[in-house]
Structures are given as structure tokens and as C-alpha cells.
Structure 1
Amino acid sequence: MLPTEHNEKRPAKEIESWASYGSGPPKAEKRLEWLNRYGERGLTLLTGTEIEPGILIAAADIDDDAFVSVAREILGNCPSAKRGKKGITFFCVVVKSEGLKSKQLRDATNKVGADILINGRSTLLPPSIHPDTKKPYVWEGKPLLHCQLAELPELTARKLNLLKKVIASPHVRAIVSGVTTHDAGVAFVAMLVALGCGADEIGTIFKSLLPEAYDGDSLRELDEWIESAERKGFASKGLDARTKKKDLLALVLESNVELFQDQLNRGFISERLPAGGTRNLLLESEIGKQWLRKLHYVANGTAISTQTLQSGVGTLDAIARFDRPKERLYLRVAGGPGVVFVDLGREDALVARIDSVGWSLTHDCPFKFYRPPGFQGMPDPAPGDFNGFRTLLGLDDSSAALVLAFMLNCLRPTGPYMWLAIEGEQGSGKSVASTMIRQTIDPHASPKLRLADNERDLMLHAQENFLITYDNASGMKNDISDALCSLATGGGIAARKYYTDDQLRVFTFARPFIINGIADFAHRPDLLDRAIPLRLRAMPDGERRPEKVMLEEYECIRPRLLGFLFDCVSCALRNEASVSAPTDIRMADSAAWLVAAEPATGLRPGLVLEAIKSAQLEAGFDRVMNDRIIIDIMRLTEKFGIVGYVGALFDALSPFWNQQDKSTPKSPALLSRHLARLAPALRKQGLLVDLTERSNKGKRVKIWRADQDPTQLLELAEVDRGHAARETVNRRVFDIQIVPGAAQATMDAAKSASSAAAEKSPETQATKRLPTGPKRPLRKKANRSSAKRKHPKTSGRGGK
């Protein structure tokens, strides 16, 4: 990617020979120079860049909206695209050896309908500003950098030629209009048959060109048009492709395989392996297509064409979705009453079976497992213990109990799951510990991810990973915090489907996850209540070890660590029925599982739950003490509890808040929600909050400490919010100064200077100063009518 020229689409003019960077990225010094010089500019993607050996990044810029749908169908599933002033740009890859070049595709009127960008071209990336509209480009689907290479469709010579013929056809405009489509449709279908398209592909292309609300006869006549074109001999190549598709289907159906759909309505093929296990492949994945290529090659001795493969995959997927039963797929861990199965990721599909007696390796598994891209194998487990892993990470008794608790929690057959929150300063080994825990439970080619920025990406992570690890988090948005709560407990999240406005895709997963960071990346109490907080101390300079050495030692102890965990799971299955769920911890089911497994851990009885509760209490205390609102309230309740309307509490506190601070409530309603959310955490810290029902004056609140008498509370003064002296009144009511320490002297001077004037004000006369001694009688509100001056009655107009 290169910085752009100001208000233009091209790269910055100072960058000479910019097309040459397609053969290799600029040096680090040059990138740093560009960052400092062009930090406020947009970014443009240099197409034709070799992103992997033999693979080039490309883009199909569709300028005419009439061709957007048909281009999407011809190119294939495009997970990443961008929109600007008009049309859409799809991102794809090309094979270097095919020798494809950039070109413009023109329609029948010689107007550019699409611009294929491959070599020596560039295209702006969101959120760069469009030079004409002055608005940013936007992503449709996933940002390009969030896509795996295998997800991007391949632009082949056949696809390019087909798209060129469709755009250039003189009949396509009539089909797009939906008016008088018969003659244009017959000619257009004949052209597609001549190009070697099969019936399914022709139907897909033709439907994508028609208007969305089309209700004419052309769709019903389409099969007849195709057969007529084939009878007239427009191309025997098209007939050969259809025949080859049937041969492929026959090969699949005659093989020892099973077609089914999973809980997400995706088509799968289940292959029975010679050793006795089964392997489940997603039909539309690259692995599934590779299996079909091999099947065709072994049977016929020739490679299958891309067109025949695509058509065959589409038909098999339709059979799996509409003619086969729906079955649940599991990722890494599955189980039922009294048994747990763990997919070891081996080529022979061997799994670990754990029951109350022990564990063993077997091919006999009643559950179907799915292995997404990046899924890696586990070593064969061996008898062992936890001491080697504990020593490697340098864990004390409490920290070792927390780590072991989380790992056993991951091996439950079903959710909900506790999550692991690892905090520590730089050099404490957070990332290394997270990686080792992840690779023990769910090995993956990319063990660490960046924290998702939206709910859709979070659920996609959950779809492709059993144990998710988010590395170096510095904070999270409230909606992501809520989504993580749902992920831990197995709640569902609905998100808009790609390229649609009115279709929702519902995700329902329960997954364990790890988040590590320096401090305070999780702040909402409902998420912290589901956590196992772990704090790692910084390694002293003399004790630090290279990460490579630690990982090598970890690989040596990994089989014994896995065997030890399986022993503990067997113990949990043996004791699960006789253990009562703890009532003083949020995730009671997970806690009961840990209590059941504890006898096999070698730890002191009760240590696991004690460590979790202590860590949660400490994390909750830190959360409370980092909250400005709660600190102010604790100062108010230092001597007495308080009672009154939330609006009065807001009036008492808000003058001392920085209005630019987004963390402080901006209204009494937001303060009420803030207190309601923090009430459970405050209760653990000995501060009780009681929000009663709402009246016509607002919601009332009681706040007191555990060692205070809840019947002897100080009434909050009701102050006119528009009165200039409200800050003085509230300071006198509470006899306390809620100000930063740096401003204390200024406050004292201001209070002394204004004391005489404040004593004479009506509001001060109406609100007497509260007593400061313990358990004094509750102040009664002043009778405002008695404070008014009485005037003698008048008789007659103007007379006394």
C-alpha cells in the first residue's frame, strides 16, 4: 500500500517509479519516512503485488451498477469489497503464471462497464476520501486485511473472458430492464452455451441480471432456451461440461461418503477413513474442493476443469442442504453425560475418549468434529503432572490454581465457560503464557488474535476457534464487553448478512477465551464476574529466558501436561453427580466442575475456588477504585449513608466532574444505570446501593456502608438546578469537599470568602447544616411555606 496524492486517486507524486514496489515492499526506513510525511493522506493498494509466491492481489472495479450482481456471481464469493461514488470494487487474487493483464471491459455502447486492475494499477482503500464526493470509501464485507488469502476468489482467464462477454453483450441491457426479455434472453443464453457454461451457471447469471421484482415468463422458459441452444449445436463444449458434472456426482455418491448440513446450514461431506475414523469437510472450502479434485483425478487420470468443479460443488451443496439431515458439528471438544471427547487433530482422525474410569485413544466417536483452517494437531497424551508447566511459567500456589482451573474449565463438554484475564506489566510473560495455554487446549497456526472491534468479527472468531486468545488488549467497547459475556455463556448474537440490508445471520456459540493486557482492559462488572483474573509479576532481569527456549521446553512437557489434564477431567466426571454447585460464585456450573476435578489436581482442598473468589474480589476492588463516580460516593458516605433522589445526587456530584470525560454520566438517568450496573461489585466491597421505584420526582436511591445503620441516613437536599449557588449548598449539606487534591487550597479559600453570603441566601436558610456526629436524628425537610414573609391582608384596590 502507498500513500496517495492530496485530493487524487494516484500515489503521491513524490514517490517515483511507484509501480516497481509491486515486486517487493519498500524498506522499513522508507515506510517510516512515508508515515511521517504522508500520515494524513489516504492509502492506495498497488495491484499486481505478489502476496505469496505465484499469487498476485487484484481488483475488479465494476463502474456500472447494472453489472454488480452478475460480476459477484461470476467472480464467486467475494468477502471483501469497497464502495465509493458508484459501483463496487471486488478484491480477488490471480495466479501469476496465467499472465493476466489489466484491462477495461466495455459494454455494447463502448462505455466502460468494469476495470480489471492487476499489474501496474492502484485503487484507493477505505477510509480514504474520494476526491469527487469528499466522503470516505467504505468496506462492504470484511476489510481486506482481515481476510485470509484462501477466502479471496481466484480471477481466472475463463472468468475474465465470461465477464467480458456478458458486459459486451448487446442483449444484456434488455434483460436488466426486465422488459421484452424473451428475444434478448434466447440470444444471451445461446452465447453462454457457446462459451461452455452449464445449465446451473447459466441460470445463476441470468437471474442475477433480472430486476429483483421480476415476475415475467423468462425464468420458466430458461431451461427450454438452454436445451434449444444445445440442440442447435451452439457448442459441444457446454454439453461436455454438463456430462462431466454428472460423472463427478456419480463418483461422490458411489464413494464411502455421507452428505449432511451443519447447524449453520452449510453443506458438508463426511469421509470414512481406512483406519476407521471420519473426516468432515466443508464442501465450499478449499480443502473440500481439493478432495473432489483428487477423487476425479484418481478415477479418470485427468484434472477436473474449474467450471465442472464449481458446478459439481454447487449441486453437492444443494443435496446436502435440502435432501440430507441436519447434524451438529463440534470444534475440538464434545461430550455427553459421563463422557468427553477431544479431537487430537491427527490425520487418522483418532480422538481421546475420557470417562469416569480414565482416558483412551479411539476411532469410535458418536460426535462429528470440524477442523477449520489453521487447526493443528495435539501430541499423544502421556501420564504426568502439572509441576513442570507451573515451574516453566514461574507460578505461585494461587496463580497455579487459577491457570489449572481455567484449563480444566476449557475441557468441559458444554458451556458456560469462565474466561481468563491475564494482567501484568511489560516483561511479565503474558503473551507466552497465553500461547502455551492455547496450544495445550486448542493448537492453532495463529494462536493469538487482536481483540475484535465488532460483534460480527467476534462471532466469526468463535466459529473458527474453540479457545480464542486476544493478545495485548488495551480496552474494549461496551458492546464488545456484552458480546463477550454472551460468548462465555452461550448467548446468541444477530448480525446483518453480507451484501444484504434485511437478512440477519444468527450466531450462537459458547467458547472459552483468554484476554491479556497490561491493566484495566475489562471494566464492566458483568464480564469480570465471569472471569478468572490472573496477575503475573514482571520477571527480574536475571531470571528472564528467551521465548524460543521456553517454547522448546514446553514442547517437551506438553504430552505429560495433556495427560494430567485428562486425568483431572476423568475425576470430574466421576464426582460430578455428587458435587453441589457453589452459591457464592457467578459461574456456578463451571465452579462445580472444578470442585469435582479438584481431588486429582494434588492441590489443597478448596484452594481452587478460594483463589478464584479472591482474584475476583481483588479485580472488583480495582474496578471500583478506578471509577471516579464511586470514589466520590465513598467520600460522601464516609460518616453517614445517604438517601434521596438520583437527580439530587447527580447535582451534588456533577459540578466536580470533568465534562469532557466520557466515563462520567451526563444525566441522572445515566447515573442511575451506572449505579445499577456496579451494585453487585460494590456490594462485595461493602458499599450497598438500593435503587427503589420511580416516582413523579424521579428514582430514589439509598447508599450506605455495611457497617452503617441503613435506618439512619442523611437526606439529600433538593436544589434548584438552575441556581448559581448550588455547588456551595451541596458542599455545606455534606460538609465534604469532592475535589482533586491540587485544587484543595483554592476550594478552601473560595468557601471562606463566600460563607457570609451563603448564610444569607434563602436556599441555605431552607437547608440546615447536617450533624456530623454518629446516629443523629434524620433531618426533616424545611417547610418552604413557613419561610415565606407574611403580608397583611389588603382591602380595596391599593389599600392596606
Structure 2
Amino acid sequence: MDDVGNSDFIRSLLDNAEPFPLEPERQTSSRSGDRTPGAESVSAAINAGSLARLQNALNFLVLAERIDLGSYGDWFNLACALKPYGEAGFTLFDRLSSEAGGYEGEEACRHKWDELDRPYDGKPFTAATYFKLALEAGWQDPETSSGGSSGGGKPDAAIVVLDQAEAEGDEHWLAQDGQAYVSFRKAVPDGEFHLVHALIASGAYRGVLQSRYLAEKATKVLPKQQEDAAIGILTYRAYEKGTRHSVFLRSAMVGDVCYVELGRADGKVVKIDAAGYSVVGDAPVRFTRGSRGELPLPEQGGTLELFARHFNLSRPDLIRNIGFCIGSFRSAGPFAILLIEGGSGSGKSSLGDRNIALTDPPVEQANARFSLSSDERNLHVHASHAKVLFFDNLSTIGARDADTLCRISTGASSSYRTHHTMTEETQFSLVRPVIATCIATPSDRNDLLSRCLRVTALPITEYRTEEELSRAFEADRPKMLGFLFEAISLALRNRPEVEKARADGLIKPPRLADFALFVEGASEILGLRPGEFCALLSDEQGSMQAEAVLGDPVAEALITYFSRDDATGIDKSARELLDLLKVGNRYAEFPAVNKLRGHLDRIKPGLLANGIAIDMYQDRHAKAWRMRISRTSAFTPIAVPTQPELSRDPF
């Protein structure tokens, strides 16, 4: 196949199949009383037909994905329909089977073929069945129909659509995750065109194909079956060509340049580099629109004080929040999870709305907030259409949901069986910034908390209407967006200095180092000294970790133990340590001996934040793990009640 982009390839595949000259051993025909729509066409195809014509119809059905010979049911039905054609039918049966998934060789086909010689109680498929399916799907019989490429008549609708796609210059290609995309031109209000990138099977591209077909035919719409056939062929062409490109939502980094897709009808984007930012036409990257809306054109004049007018946060929290927004425009993770805490009536949900409005606004404000779905597949579908995710009013986050959020913020992939297929796979590969609001930290999972950037909404002293707040925010939003773009430009400019300071030990990045170091480059516009943003992030992470272990029986027992004046370092096995912790805490619910090491691993960051260091090592002589625990200079003792039991160390 030298030119898969030409519609002649499709015609030749359907019309020039190698013929099978042998006549069937017994003739199959439609019932004379069949008066269903298309019955006469089916009868004509059978009566006029040879095995070559049936092969033509079968090729069409396979290409249009109407039959899947990788599934047993379709494979068995094909054997039943071809059995009357003798050895010529078997040859075709084996050839078609070999081109499908799960082919086990000619011997397996022969075995099934010979089984059909025995009496069969069911109602087998016949050639008539396949002719009917093919005609319903838009197949043109080259010898009995006035249409089709070989009869000199007008081509069917799918061929018209394929020709239109080629004439319009549509480019069909694959994303890095293997999904098939198309790039097509779209007219903009000023009379020019810009490129739109979308999934080939998306509603957006289907609408384009329908519109083109209607414009040419004037009074005819594209039939659904013909539309599906065209989509299938265009998808096949994308896979056959094999060209791959990266796909981005909202923002993309190309070297030292950041592009931000504004979601405008004219396709304009913002280009940000070390010299500043500017509004330009199409970017040299491929953006998809997703389900999000439009960002305003950025303006000069944004300041920290302007943000403070709309964000009821303390100064350190305001800096952390703005840092989250700056980092959200990076195209690669890991990303931070912005955790907005606040009591009832503190406006924490509105804070989430404003963050979304500055980074990845929805088409309608009502679509900004989502609940955290328990089905990870639904969550990935949502994330595949949005750059920044916003989950509102989370009361608790269980272990499973915590793991899901961790995977999303640092990178996750998943695959599922495509609906209405047996073997097709749909893949998701994504990494996203996340915003979550809650009254109090909804999880004690250290792996989640170490990815969080927590801010606390201050109490509102004067309430105003939503309309008034929205009007004031919208008036300042272009300047705040311009401020974020200026900060990104500064971060790009200062990358070499930040890397040098890190190498010299002047900046100590916390977890989420990529995010923290990027924002570090914008320290000047944020009013910070070098290394101060990393310190702000590290301090808040340590505070959350320290709070997370409070109330844990093992952590509380260790804090109590090391608060004693006579406490010494601990070097014990799991059983010995558990016996020590139970002294004075006989009613506490400690983990079992075989679970203690794993439990200590989980709370280790929180204990370290409280000034207790743990080191585990394996005693090869005793063939057991031992725990070496000590207090650090950061440890703050608590008041310990005088109890005789506390002075006893059984070891």
C-alpha cells in the first residue's frame, strides 16, 4: 500500500479482492416472502453472486468493524456461512481468520470446519446474513448496484467524506498514548483560519464531517453508519501512518518557552519566555480544548495587593497559593495539591473558584466544582478534559482515594476495555494539579500530605453578594493573569541561577522539588528572598505531617516516652518495642507485632516532624528487624503525668 491517504486504496480493497471461481456446493437464497427493507437488494446480491462477491462484502464488514473475527462467536458464524462453498470457502475462512487476533493456525480452523459436518441444532449464519449486514452498513455491490466505484455511478457517502477530508488537508496522527487525533482548519471571525486538534472519533470532528457533507449535498445528511465507517477508516489511516505528536491541555513548555491556550474562538495563545509574554496566533504545539472555557487576555498592572483583595489568606498562605497557580502552567509534573482549609462560612469554595478562574476556567462556573468519584475510571475521564481539577468540600479521604490523588498529581496511567468491544483498549495517561477544599485536613496519609500545599481561609468579617464579588474579581482577573505570566517569565529567566543556588546548597528543595524550584525563580516578584518559597513549602509540609500522627497510639506513646527526663534512645525488635510502648498505655490499640514495622514506616515522616527519628535495620543473626529510635533537637517534650509504670522498662 503505497498511498493509504488516497480513497482509491479503499475502493481497490473492496472491489479488487482476489476472486474464488468455484461455485458453492449448495445455493443459499433469501426467502421469497421476505418483505423487510432491503430484502430485494439482498436477494439480488446472493443470486448474482459468487464467493468473490461474498469476500468483497466480508472485507467491507471487517474494515468497518462490524464483525470481529477475534471473538469466537463471529468466527464460528463465519465458518457456518462459508461451509457451503467447500474448500474454496475454507481457504477464505482460514485467510480471514489469520488476519484477526487470536489466530491459532490452519489446523484449528480445519478442526472447527470439520465439526460443522455434524448435525447442528442452532440457526447458522448464511451468506444472506452477511450480505444484509453489509448492505445495511453502506456496502455497494459492484455488480448489482448502480453506485460504487466500479459501476461508474456516484460513490457512497463514506467515500465522499474521505475525499472531503483529503481535499481539506486534514492531518490524521497519533498521540503519545496511542489515541488517534486529527488536525483540521477552522475559520475564525477575522476571516483567517487556525488549526484545531481533536480526537478523530470526537463529537467535534464528527460535526465537521457532517457539516462538510451537508454543504456539498445540500439536502442530505451523512448517515450514521457511513459516518462510523469513515471514522473507522480515518482512524486506520492514522495508525497506518504512525506519526506521533504530544498533546497538551491549556499549557505547554517547549524548551524555555511556555505557551498558554486561552480557549478563544480565534485560537490565540500566550507565548511566555525570559523576555516577557505576548499574545500570538497558533502555537508550535498541539492543544486540545477539553471541556474548559476561556481565559481573558492578560493585562499589565497586577500586584500582590490585587490578589490579597480577592483571596482571604494570610500573607504566607497567599504566597503559597500564588505559587500553586504559577506552577500549574507547567506542562509536566509533578504538581502540587492545593488544600484549602477553612471553617464554615470562610469562603473556601469561592477561593477554589478563583484559583480555577485564573488557571483553567470552565465554560460555566457551575461546572467548576466536582466531587471525588470513587470510580477511578470516571476520575481519569474527567481529568483527560481539564488541566486543573477542583474537588469541593471533602470531609474525609480514605486510603484508596489518597492513593488516587497521589497518582494524579505525580503521574498516572490506566487502561480499560473500550465500550461495545471485546479486545479494544482505551488508555489514559495524565498528571494534573489538584485543588481540594475541606474544613479540616481530611486525611492522615503522609504520602498525600507530602504532596499538599495547605492554605487556610481566614474568617470573613463582612459578607457581600456573589454578584458583587464576581463583578469585582472579573474586573481584576486580566491583571492578575498578567501577573502570573510575568512570574512565569521571571521563573524561566532565573532557571540557571536557581540551579546554581541549589547546587551550592543555598536552596534546599522539599518534596515536589520540580514545582518548588520552578516557583523559586519567581521569588523576586513574590517579594521573597532566594530559597524562601522552598522554606515556606517545607514548613507547611512539616506542620501537616506533625499534625497527622497526633492521636496515633504508637506516635503518642513514643512522644510520651521521649518526654521523660530519663528517656534514652531505643534499639529494639518489634516485639520488644511493642512491650515498651504498652507500659502506661495498656488500653491503647496498638498494631500487631507483624504490622508494627509497616506502621512505623507510614508515620515516620510525621514522627520526624515531631522530633523523633527512626532507623530500621535487619539483625541478620536474629533474622529479625530492629528499630533504632531517638529524639532530635527539634523534639518538644510534653507534660507527662507521674505514674509508676512509666519508669519501668522491661528490657
TM over 0.5: yes
Q: CA deviation at 1:461?
A: 2.9
Shift of 1:584: 4.6
Deviations 1:279-320 (A, max 9, x none): 112221111111111111222323222222121111112112
Pick from 364, 370, 373 the counterpart of residue 449 of structure 1. Answer: 370
Equivalent residue in structure 1 for 2:296, among 358, 375, 379: 379
Cα distance in 2 for partners of 1:592, 1:342 equals 20
The corresponding residue for 1:230 is 141
Mapped pair 1:272 → 2:198: no
Kindly indicate whether residue 630 of structure 2 is the aligned counterpart of residue 704 of structure 1.
yes
Residue 493 of structure 1 aligns to a residue in which SS?
A: strand
Tell me how far apart the structure 2 counterparts of residues 702 and 186 of structure 1 sit (CA, whole Å): 83
How far is the alpha carbon of 1:477 from its aligned partner? 2.7
**Alpha-carbon distance between aligned partners in 2 of 1:569 and 1:434, rounded to the nearest angstrom:** 21
| Partner Cα distance (2:321, 2:63) in 1 | 54
Any idea what the Cα deviations from partners look like across 1:762-796, whole Å, max 9, x if unmatched? xxxxxxx45xxxxxxxx9x6xxxxxxxxxxxxxxx
Q: Distance in 2 between matches of 1:415 and 1:656?
A: 46
Q: Out of 299, 306, 317, which is 2:216 matched to?
A: 299
Partner in structure 1 of residue 510 of structure 2: 585
Q: Which piece of structure 1 moves more, 293-302 or 600-609?
A: 600-609
Does the aligned pair in 1 maintain the 2:247–2:288 contact within 8 Å? yes
Q: Kindly provide the amino acid, as one letter, of the partner of residue 141 in structure 2.
A: E
User: Would you say the 8 A contact 2:328–2:433 is kept in 1?
Assistant: yes
Match of 1:497 in 2: 417
Q: Deviations over 1:345-381 (max 9, x none)?
A: 1112111000011111111421100112x22111111
1:736 corresponds in structure 2 to: 646
Match of residue 550 from structure 2: 625
**What's the offset of the Cα at 1:433?**
0.5
Give the SS at the match of 1:395: coil
CA distance in 1, matches of 2:446, 2:154: 60
Q: Following the alignment from structure 1 to structure 2, what is the Cα–Cα distance between the partners of residues 501 and 313?
A: 19
SS at match of 1:277: strand
Question: 2:576 pairs with 644, 648, 653, which one?
Answer: 648
Query: How far has the Cα of 1:549 moved from its partner?
Result: 2.3
Match of 1:538 in 2: 459
Corresponding position of 1:351: 269
Q: Distance in 2 between matches of 1:332 and 1:229?
A: 44
Amino acid in the other structure paired with 2:406 = C
Q: Which residue of 1 aligns with 2:167?
A: 254
Q: 1:364 & 1:250 partners in 2: Cα distance? A: 26
Amino acid across the alignment from 1:560: K
Mapping for residues 390-469 of structure 1, pairs under 5 Å: 390-445=308-363, 446-469=367-390
Distance 1:261 1:459 in 2: 20
CA offset at residue 395 of structure 1? Answer: 2.4
- The separation in 2 between residues aligned to 1:441 and 1:547, in whole angstroms, is 20
> Do residues 522 (structure 1) and 443 (structure 2) align?
yes
Structure 1 residue 201: Cα displacement: 7.5
Question: Contact between 1:485 and 1:527, CA under 8 Å: does it hold in 2?
Answer: yes
**Cα distance change on mapping 1:708 and 1:522 into 2, 3 Å:** closer
Residue 614 (structure 1) shift: 2.7
Distance 1:345 1:468 in 2: 17
Equivalent residue letter for 1:735 = E
The question of whether the paired residues in 2 share the 8 Å contact of 1:532 and 1:612 is answered with yes
**CA 1:251–1:232 in 2, change beyond 3 Å: closer, same or farther?**
closer
Q: TM-score, normalised by structure 1?
A: 0.60
Q: TM-score, normalised by structure 2?
A: 0.73
Q: Secondary structure at the match of 1:599?
A: coil
Compared CA separation, residues 461 and 674, structure 1 to 2 (3 A): farther
Once residues 486 and 339 of structure 1 are traced to their aligned partners in structure 2, the CA distance between those partners, rounded to angstroms, is 27
Q: 2:533 aligns with which of 576, 599, 608?
A: 608
Cα displacement (A) at 1:278: 1.3
After TM superposition, give the deviation of residue 643 of structure 1 in Å.
Answer: 2.6
Whether the 8 Å CA contact 1:336–1:413 is kept in 2: the answer is no
Question: For the residues of structure 1 that align with 2:576 and 2:455, how far apart are their CA atoms?
Answer: 39
Output aligned runs, 1:196-215, within 5 Å. Answer: 199=61, 204-205=66-67, 207=69, 210-211=72-73
**Could you report, residue by residue, the CA deviation over 1:55-77 in whole angstroms, capped at 9, with x for unpaired residues?**
xxxxxxxxxxxxxxxxxxxxxxx
Tell me by how many angstroms 1:573 deviates. Answer: 0.9
Q: Secondary structure at the match of 2:549?
A: helix
CA-to-aligned-CA distance 1:572-625 (integer Å, 9 cap, x gap):
111111113433511222221111111123456655334323322221221121
Aligned position for 2:406: 485
Aligned match of 1:288: 205
CA distance in 2, matches of 1:733, 1:505: 62
Q: CA deviation at 1:505?
A: 5.8
Structure 1 residues 673 and 505 mapped into 2: Cα distance closer, same or farther (>3 Å)?
Answer: farther
CA distance in 1, matches of 2:146, 2:619: 78
One-letter code of the match for 2:612? L
1:128-178 C-alpha deviation (Å, 9 max, x unpaired): xxxxxxxxxxxxxxxxxxxxxxxxxxxxxxxxx99x99xxx9xxxxxxxxx
Question: C-alpha separation between the residues in 2 aligned to 1:219 and 1:431?
Answer: 62
Query: Are 1:428 and 1:536, in contact at CA under 8 Å, matched by a contact in 2?
Result: yes
2:467 to 548, 564, 572: 548
Percentage of identical aligned residues:
24
Q: 1:352 to 1:734 in 2, by over 3 A?
A: farther
Question: Relative to structure 1, is the Cα distance of residues 361 and 642 closer, same or farther in structure 2, using a 3 angstrom cutoff?
Answer: same
Letter in 2 for 1:585: P
Superposed CA offset, 1:479-530 (max 9, x none) = 332332232223x434443568998765432211111111131322222122
Q: Is the 8 A contact 2:340 2:438 kept in 1?
A: yes
Aligned pair in 2 of structure 1 residues 241, 509: CA closer, same or farther (>3 Å)?
Answer: farther
Tell me, yes or no, if structure 1 residue 340 matches structure 2 residue 258: yes
Higher relative contact order (CA 8 A, sep 6+): 2
**Of 567, 570, 584, the match for 2:486:** 567
Three-state SS of the structure 1 residue aligned to 2:156 is helix
The residue that corresponds to 2:236 in the other structure is 318
1:243 maps to amino acid: D
Structure 1 counterpart of 2:73, one-letter code: P
Distance 2:232 2:576 in 1: 65
Structure 2 counterpart of 1:673: 598
- Cα distance, 1:231 vs. partner? 5.5
Give the number of equivalent residue pairs: 530
Consecutive unaligned residues in structure 2, runs of 5 or more? 1-35, 80-89, 97-126, 636-640
Query: 1:131-210 alignment to 2 at 5 Å?
Result: 199=61, 204-205=66-67, 207=69, 210=72
Structure 1 residues 503 and 625, CA gap change in structure 2 (3 angstroms): farther
Q: In the alignment, is the contact (CA less than 8 A) between 1:276 and 1:363 conserved in 2?
A: no
- Supply the AA of the counterpart residue of 2:456: R
Matches within 5 A, 1:14-53: none
Change (3 A) 1:546 1:647: farther
Deviation (angstroms), 1:552: 2.1
Q: Give the structure 1 partner of residue 24 of structure 2.
A: none
In structure 2, the residue matched to 1:106 is none
Spell out, residue by residue over 1:532-572, the C-alpha distance to the aligned partner (whole angstroms, 9 max, x if none): 111113324xx122333222221111111111111111111
In the alignment, the residues of structure 1 paired with residue 577 and residue 74 of structure 2 have an alpha-carbon distance, to the nearest angstrom, of: 57
C-alpha distance 229-286 of structure 1, shift in aligned 2 (>3 A):
closer
CA drift at 1:658: 6.4
In structure 2, what is the Cα distance between the partners aligned to 1:210 and 1:202?
19
Partner of 1:728: none
Amino acid at match of 1:642: I
Equivalent position SS for 2:206: helix
Where does residue 243 of structure 1 map in the other structure? 156
2:608 corresponding residue in structure 1: 683
Amino acid at match of 1:264: D
